[in-house]
Structure 1
């Protein structure tokens, strides 16, 4: 009965568009009050202890680093460098948008932030060169999902904390899958652009221009090298890397690129604080929700049910991916990871899946939720940037969804794509 109350309350609140963080917290609180099995102190203490964690400190710092770099002229320089590489080929501006999203993903760790930063520059540029507005918006909206696949990634941090897996291992395991998804998106962009006759700039490819744009963007391109190199070189932890990213972003934006001033910092900090508070409230309420499920032994019951249903490894992973795709349509990625990790990872390990590989599967699958309605955060960000309706954008993004599903299938059934660099 308690589990029914928990899920029924949560589902009802989500249907009425109550924010996920509030829905999770209210559902847990009402269940505690109605059953009397626990005291309200359980919820209060969980909200505090769930964010009282050194690894989770990386989340607000990576959010702040992304906001600083998005405002500090870094995204424009990444766009210029990407354009210099591919702008003269068929669909060059679409491919450049995806490459830029990859670069920015290695800075921000956020899908919506990537769409906002890159979309504001590249969508108008594509429209200017004759690209269909819906297609131009869909390119950036889909590529923005790479923001949580390529390290640093906020969902990977949350999975690492929830599953007890090395965040550094998750970061390095996400590199090839992120590149694979990007390649699949580029392939479709090229095919569609070839069909529609979308070209890049008429200027010929020039190594001199590539070198010039590289010099302008080299400080921005050094950011992922510093972050990942420091982590894998044992110089600092992922949490310390997030602080290094903030300091580096401030120095570059204030003194090298001079795109922001000290008077801009309060606005940037305020934006980051608001975003961080939202994420951390989700972490707290989702942790309480998940702990209550664990106390009711729901993960164990689900594991037993899956094992009784089938002992096939393929059947399990297909069911897991299907569940994650559905959940991604309705639930924010961080909340989904915190709730589902304790349920799915133990079962996956029983079937012989490496927990790092399982984490990459979860992150990539839930990242696809960024472009699937009704939640689809990237859809709403892309729509607000370009002015294309969410309905129109949802149709235009279907081929990109299929391309991402193809990449996901390879990631699921070829574990070495995730584990090769470990």
Structure 2
């Protein structure tokens, strides 16, 4: 274990990607331990990927890319601005609300920031919003992309914890709404304090037109979740349906060109490959630490000091918050589920509830330096330095920490819908 830690730290220090650091350090540890031959490395990496539910990931990624280039973001922004743009801080609140809608399509935080921010960040700046607040507001709104279903981290947790992806999707709805509401309150409060006025109020007819134009986009999550819980298709099959629907919507909107389609497929392939490499590396790591009995040792130690439910909850949140600052969400889920989930179950926590605690914690990592991906995207769109946007995002992080506390302390936020559907 010492060899694994040392090699991982060295690789991360020299700038190796997280997947390379995980797989490389584990390979060295296996090679020097003498427990197995190195042939277990490709075997275990393949086993980590050999899972039917994981097939949903590349399809949801492709659906998100197709919806992004198919004119969806513009129509969602049009509807969000028409709905709420006229109130104090309307554009900032529209950024939050539109990001929630787009998150239910893309499943990605960075994609949400890029699609919505490319339009709303310039619009907010043109209406006198301070650059730091504008960038931070959009970066944090993009974090909804990993909470609102369909979400790639929710799928990964379902696979790692052997839970239903459909249950995790349902579990993410109410926490996602809670986070959205808190960000809307934050945007309104800051805007009112700074005097950010709304844009001109639209007529009822214009609002209905904007709603009609965005209806096809907003129907996608209804189709995905409704199909799953109507027993029509599995979550993996739902991902394929999402791709077909995204293609049809793009054709209806007449925004596709051959180049856009080819770029979408290429970008999706690259993104999917990155995620799968991380999954394979984390699977190898999980195999090795299980062979060493490390999770069992952690469980025994935590049991011996008798932290109890509240103590474990506080410790787990701290670990996940810190981990999210340095480790990408997919890798963090696959690394920490084998270690923390047995402890959570041991203190009486529902695995679905703990999964939402993990995902909401790791969503904060998207907006915390040094590896907060949303910050980099928002920084590029707003032409603001990473240092300035990191400072501007601090109050928003405080709001997200309150959301983590709510999700942690109120299990029914995560469990009510899955239990309701199961009971039905």
Q: Do the structures match in fold with TM over 0.5?
A: yes
Q: Which runs of 5+ in 2 are unaligned?
A: 419-424
Q: Indicate conservation of the 8 Å contact 2:82/2:201, yes or no.
A: no
CA distance in 2, matches of 1:208, 1:273: 41
Q: Secondary structure at the match of 2:39?
A: helix
Pick aligned residue for 1:89 from 87, 90, 113: 87
Q: Deviations over 1:223-254 (max 9, x none)?
A: 1110111111111111111111111101111x
2:309 is matched with which residue? 313
Pick aligned residue for 2:346 from 350, 369, 373: 350
Say whether residues 1:68 and 2:77 are aligned partners: no
1:134 is displaced (CA, Å) by 1.0
CA distance in 2, matches of 1:234, 1:11: 46
CA distance in 1, matches of 2:123, 2:75: 14
Q: Secondary structure at the match of 2:378?
A: helix
CA distance in 1, matches of 2:403, 2:307: 26
Distance 1:205 1:266, change over 3 A: closer
Alignment of 1:147-186 (within 5 A): 147-186=145-184
Say whether residues 1:293 and 2:289 are aligned partners: yes
Q: Secondary structure at the match of 2:401?
A: helix
Q: Secondary structure at the match of 1:17?
A: coil
Q: Which runs of 5+ in 1 are unaligned?
A: none
1:256 is displaced (CA, Å) by 0.6
1:205 is displaced (CA, Å) by 4.6
CA distance in 2, matches of 1:408, 1:362: 9
Count of residue pairs the alignment pairs up: 418
1:76 is displaced (CA, Å) by 0.6
Q: What do you get for the CA RMSD once the two structures are aligned?
A: 0.9
Say whether residues 1:340 and 2:344 are aligned partners: no
Q: Secondary structure at the match of 1:393?
A: helix
TM-score (norm 1): 0.98
Say whether residues 1:228 and 2:241 are aligned partners: no
Q: Secondary structure at the match of 1:242?
A: helix
Q: Secondary structure at the match of 2:285?
A: helix
TM-score (norm 2): 0.97
Pick aligned residue for 2:415 from 412, 419, 422: 419
CA distance in 2, matches of 1:379, 1:263: 28
CA distance in 1, matches of 2:361, 2:47: 28
Q: Deviations over 1:76-115 (max 9, x none)?
A: 1000000011101001000000011100110111111111
CA distance in 2, matches of 1:62, 1:24: 25
Say whether residues 1:215 and 2:207 are aligned partners: no
Say whether residues 1:393 and 2:393 are aligned partners: no
Q: Deviations over 1:251-309 (max 9, x none)?
A: 111x2101112342211111110111011000000110111011101101111111122
